[in-house]
Amino acid sequence: MTINTIGGYSIITKEKEVIGLEENCSQNHPSTPRTKAEMDKIINRLKRIEGQIRGVQKMVEEDRYCIDILVQITAIQSALKNVGFSVTERHINHCVSDAIIKGEGKESIEELMNVMKQFSK
């Protein structure tokens, strides 16, 4: 299944799982570009998550206790979900609200709802 986004991407899903993201057109930026501070905050969070993932890989290589690994995986999932909420909030405040003002709100809301259905699984 493919979900086309207003931003020019296709979200490719297979049996309810997102397996890829493809660019459809050159309009691949938010209606209000992110500030450097916004980008830095998201990138820093993602780098922290990346470090946590490497830590879990090391735990597996060291044959650490399963529960300890699962606790770290839960922390990673929570951190990643919080990044998603942050991006979603910005999208609603800028992209969706701009689309509503331009009379394209229905499409933007449908796009967001399709992604939120995937995000909430």
- Looking at residue 1, its pLDDT comes to 53
113/13 Cα distance (integer angstroms): 15
User: Is it the case that residue 21 has pLDDT exceeding 70?
Assistant: no
User: Is it the case that residue 47 has pLDDT exceeding 60?
Assistant: yes
Residue 108 C-beta-side C-alpha neighbours within 13 Å? 19
Q: Are 102 and 94 in contact (CB under 8 A)?
A: no
**What's the fold here for domain 31-119?**
Methane Monooxygenase Hydroxylase; Chain G, domain 1 (1.20.58)
Q: What are phi and psi of 10, to 5 degrees?
A: -115, 130
- Looking at residue 104, its pLDDT comes to 86
pLDDT in tens, 50-104: 999 999 999 999 999 999 999 999 999 999 999 999 999 999 999 899 989 989 8
Average pLDDT score over residue span 18-44: 66
Residue located via tokens 């399963």: 66
- Looking at residue 19, its pLDDT comes to 45
Domain limits of the chain?
A: 31-119
E strands in the chain: 2-4, 9-14, 17-23
Buried b (16+ CB within 10 A) or exposed e, 13-46: eeeeeeeeeeeeeeeeeebeeeeeeeeeeeeeee
